[in-house]
Amino acid sequence: MKSIKITEKFWRVFLWGVLMIAILPLLRIANYNHPMSDDWGYSAKLHGVILLGGFHPMKALKTIYDVIMQNWHVWQGTYAAICIFQLQPAVWGEKFYCLGTYILALFAITSTVCFFRTLFQKIFGIGRQIADIISCLILLLWIERMPSPVQGLYWWNGASYYVLFFSCMLFLCASLIKMQVEESCGTSRFVWLLLLAFFLAGGNFVTALLTVEILFFNFCLAVYRKKKYWIQSIIVLIVNLGGFLLSALAPGNAVRQSDYEQFSAAKAILFSFSEAYIFLENYTSLYVILALLFMIPFFWKFVGPVRRFEWKIPYGGYVALAYCFFSSSFTPNLYAYGSAGPGRIQNIRYWLMCIIYSMLLLVAVKKMKLLLQLREVEVEKVFSNKILAYMACIIGFVILFVLSDCREEYKDSLSTVSAIYSLYRGEAQEYDTEWGKRIDKLLHSEEQDIVFSKIKNKPYLIYYQDIYGNETNWRNQACAQYYHKESVRIKKKQK
């Protein structure tokens, strides 16, 4: 038993070390990042207030409120998200934009660890060390293999819209688990849940819908268990639904959706199941499979005592519920825009997929232990032999795949490898230099109609979009407004 504890501690320290090493180049390359596209549009007025008159809290709050209301009427009703958009770090100065990546990475790590620690300790009786091991594996998968890293950690507008709100949803889940297990909802927890519920309702519609489903399930469970906190549960649900309606029924949403081919509600729900299957087929990579295989021995050794009455639901029922929940993440975009959505949405679906896979695996292990107990098999002897060989084999495959992805033609397959390549070759530094010259001209030149050369260096992780040759393009207009210029455009090619 002593060797098992040592192994457990070793793998926890080892995986935390791997995660920190993997994330360092990603934080380093963020220092060469710059605002783009919607970053300018949503924060132009707040940036103007700070740029021209310094920071005055009341004036800044009024500006934030005015922009929220303006967008609510003419573009979109996601009130909490629009507030966050305006607070992109570069409004305080261009050099602070890198803080966006630090903030998003911090939220992703802390929310994932908080969720798994709470889930494992409160529900499954598994210690903190195993929770950290699983958290690190999930985070490594997400950080390295997310569908669009630039929209997940570097472009503040797109990344905060999904990563920040998904992180808050995980914090909400952790609080709800504590409430259900501890069978209490004190004042501080109640206020915290109310704030999170209202905040999440005003974010992107994917996490907003998932939050409604989670809170509804929480309320039903409280009623089923006949607990007094069903009152707090329904109040939190009502606040969330109220915020969701406030966001969804905004007049601006109709204006925005007029540019897209919408699905009917029934068609969106139906197509969600097929889109979910396509996503799982595309993103359940060998890395994901190896990570799940790596988790099995830890679940087997450290899972809490199995009590049969807790597991009356067939395993297929858990799988079906998980698949329906995951599929619902596609419904808002299919209904509003007729598509599954861009990479920034796929990023949180990939994150959710990895979390659901790990939870289903844990339930499968619990079910298997119960089955073996009923057949009077000594479950502690399973996985007791040659466990190090099992782990070494998995790590060997991971190293082999990582080395393969280090080849230049596959360098963007892993985020850390891509960051190292861009930094080593000076691509990120050159990109920063090019933007530095632009910003110097925008801030210090008296010229009102600015013309730039095209960006030559486009690092995969931090380059998302550029302005266009047409000064009437909305991105160009947003950039011009942000820096108080008449027009901004890219130099057109000579015919």
- Residue range 272-286, pLDDT digits in tens: 999 999 999 999 999
Residues in contact with 410: Cβ distance below 8 Å, sequence separation at least 6, in sequence order = 404
Provide φ and ψ at 361, rounded to 5°.
-65, -40
Dihedral (CA of 419, 425, 427, 430) sign: positive
Taking the CA atoms of 127, 132, 133 and 134 in sequence, report the sign of the dihedral they define: positive
Nearest residue to 26 via CA among 399, 422, 408? 422
The pLDDT of residue 399 is: 84
Question: What's the pLDDT score for residue 407?
Answer: 79
Residue 90 pLDDT: 93
Cα angle 44, 47, 50; round to 5 = 155
Joined together, the tokens standing for residue 154 give 């570097």
Output the six-digit token pair for 162.
């999904």
Q: How confident is the model at residue 55, as a pLDDT?
A: 67
Question: What pLDDT does 265 receive?
Answer: 87
Report the DSSP beta bridge partners of residue 450: 488
Q: Please state, in angstroms and rounded to a whole number, the distance separating the CA atoms of residues 303 and 21.
A: 29
Report the C-alpha gap between 92 and 95 in whole angstroms.
8
From 354, 381, 348, select the one nearest 292 (Cα to Cα).
354
Which residue numbers in the chain have pLDDT < 70? 1-6, 53-55, 304-311, 373-388, 494-495
Is residue 259 classed exposed, middle or buried when 0-12, 13-18 and 19+ CB atoms within 10 A define those classes? exposed
- Give the type of residue at 129: Q
